[in-house]
Amino acid sequence: ADTGELIASFFLDLHRRRAKKKPGFWHAKIQDYSTALGTERSGPRLPAAHIVCDFAQPDSNGQPTLLTHEDVRKLFHTMGGALRHLLCN
């Protein structure tokens, strides 16, 4: 049943910044689910992950950048890996 309870968190970084991060698509866990590391007041520590993509920035005229088929494939593959971490114990 949908209770609206928070079960996990993820952070999404969509655009490439060559000087700031390596190119490509990847996900990484920030923290795992843990009842031992949680507190009585806040409950268990919930899983969290970040998802990093390499999409081009919108152009200077504000026109959006369209995704290629390969971009969409990489996004779904990366998101699937992150969801596996977030939703499986």
pTM for this entry: 0.74
Q: What is the pLDDT along the chain (89 residues), one digit of tens a residue?
A: 578 888 899 999 888 777 776 778 888 888 888 878 777 777 788 899 999 898 888 888 888 888 999 999 999 999 999 999 898 86
Cβ(84)–Cβ(34) below 8 Å? no
Contacts of 65 (CB under 8 A, 6+ apart): 55, 56, 57, 58, 59
DSSP letter at 11 equals E
CA 77/CA 32 separation, integer angstroms: 20
CA 33/CA 48 separation, integer angstroms: 8
